[in-house]
Amino acid sequence: MMREIKIYSPATVSNIGCGFDTMGFALDEYCEEIVLRTSTNSGVRVVKITGDHGEIPYDNDQNTATKALLAFIEKHPIEFGLEIEIHKKMGLGSGLGSSAASAVSSVFGLNYLLGNPFDNNQLLLFALEGEKIASKATHADNVAPCLFGGFVLISSYEPLNIIKLPVPNDLYCAILHPQIEIKTSEARALLGDTIKLKNAVTQWGNVGGLVAGLYKSDYELIGKSIKDKVAEPLRSKLIPGYESIKESAYNAGAIGCNISGSGPAMFALSVTKEKAQKVAEAMKNACDKIDVENKIYVSSINQNGPLIKE
C-alpha cells in the first residue's frame, strides 16, 4: 500500500555566538516541506524540488536528503522505493540550517514510516551523513537541534554526545535573513586552523555562561554570553551592514545578537514575544537602510523537533 507523509523540520540557529560547532537551537519556523512517498519501484529518488532552492542537486550522492536516507537504508534495508519532493521555504546558504533540515526530515520521515526502529541518537548519525555534503565538514550544531528541538549542546564529537538544555519560558528569537547567499563551506574556509589561547578562554567562559544561563533562566547571563571571538570577527564581513544591524537589535532591547550559523542570517534573542517583534523590525529597518533585500521572522523556541503530517 502506498503511503505519503509530509515532514516539517525546524530552522535552526547554530553556534549561538560562543558555541562554534557545539551549540544550536531550533525555531518554530520550518525550512521546507518534504514529501516522502513510498513506491513499488525500488530505490530512492528526488522527483521534485520547488521554492527558494538555489542549486540543490537531484543526484542522490549530492543531495543532503537522499544522502542521509542512503545512510539509513544501509543500516536498515527497506523493501519499497521512496520518492521525495522538496519544497524549500528557506534556501540553502541562509545560515538557518536548511541543509540540515532536509537531512533530518528525510530520515525522521522514513523512521516514522517503518514504525520508529531507530532513536534520535541513531537518526542523528544518518542525518550527519547528509549534512556533510552541504558543509564539507561534520558539524552537528544544526542537525542536532533540528532533530531534538530546543537548545542543544554537542558536548563531544568522538563519540557524539548530545545534551538537551532547558528552554527558558520567555525567550523569543528574531531572525533577519538578508537575501544573499553565503556557502557554509566558504564561510568555514575563512576560519584559520588556530586561535589565540586568550580568545579560547573567553569563548569557553561564555559557553559555560550560556549553559548555566539556560539552566538558571538567567536572561542577563544568557545575553552576556552570546559573544564570539572566533567566527564573528571574520564572517561578519560577509554580511552587509552587520554592525549597524546588530546595534539596532541591542538598541531595540535584544539580550544577545550574533550571526546565525555561517550567515548571512542574524539572530537576536529577546525576553517576550513583543520585544522580539520590536527587535526584528529594528533589524529590518537597519537592513533596509543599506538597500539589502531581507526577510524577518519572529519565533518561539521549537521544543519538539520535526513535525509529521500524514
The nearest distance, CB 164 to its own copies, in angstroms, is: 9
Strands 4-8 and 32-39: antiparallel
Catalytic residue among 29, 83, 131, 232: 131
| Site for its own copies contains 234 (CB under 8 A) | no
Piece in contact with its own copies (CB under 8 A), picked from 36-44, 126-134, 210-218, 280-288: 210-218
Given 5, 103, 207, 249, the residue binding its own copies (CB under 8 A): 207
How many residues bind to its own copies according to rule CB under 8 A?
A: 40
Q: Where in 133-172 is the site for its own copies (CB under 8 A)?
A: 153-157, 161, 163, 165
1 scored as a contact of its own copies (CB under 8 A): no
189 near its own copies, rule: CB under 8 A: no
- Asked whether 200 and 247 are in contact (CB, 8 A), the reply is no
Among 94, 105, 135, 203, binds its own copies (CB under 8 A): 203
User: Residue 128 is placed in which grid cell?
Assistant: 550527519
Q: Which amino acid is at 170?
A: D
Name the residue with cell 538597500. 291
Q: DSSP string covering 244-267, please?
A: HHHHHHHHTT-SEEEE-TTSS-EE
Please report whether residue 195 would count as binding its own copies according to CB under 8 A. yes
Count the neighbouring beta carbons within 10 Å of the beta carbon of residue 74: 10
Tell me if 202 contacts its own copies by CB under 8 A.
yes
Q: Which is nearer to its own copies, 78 or 191 (CB)?
A: 191
Q: Is 191 in the site for its own copies (CB under 8 A)?
A: yes
Structural contact between residues 276 and 293, judged by C-beta atoms closer than 8 angstroms: no
Q: What's the length of the chain? A: 310
Query: Which of 19, 145, 263, 264 is close enough to bind its own copies by CB under 8 A?
Result: 19
Candidates 57, 117, 205, 233; binder of its own copies (CB under 8 A) is: 205
Residue 131 annotated to the active site: yes
Tell me the backbone φ, ψ of residue 242, rounded to 5 degrees. Answer: -50, -50
Element (DSSP H or E) covering residue 11 = strand 10-14
- Please tell me the distance from the alpha carbon of residue 233 to that of residue 254, in angstroms, as a whole number: 20
CB-neighbour burial class of residue 262 (10 A; exposed 0-12, middle 13-18, buried 19+): buried
> Which residue's CB is nearer to its own copies, number 152 or number 171?
152
User: Are residues 308 and 3 in contact, defined by beta-carbon separation less than 8 angstroms?
Assistant: no
Cβ-based nearer residue to its own copies, 87 or 227: 227
Site for its own copies contains 14 (CB under 8 A): no
Between CA 12 and CA 96 the distance in angstroms is 5
Which residues participate in catalysis according to the annotation? 131, 184
- The binding site for its own copies (CB under 8 A) comprises 18-23, 153-157, 161, 163, 165, 191-198, 200-212, 215, 221, 224-225, 230
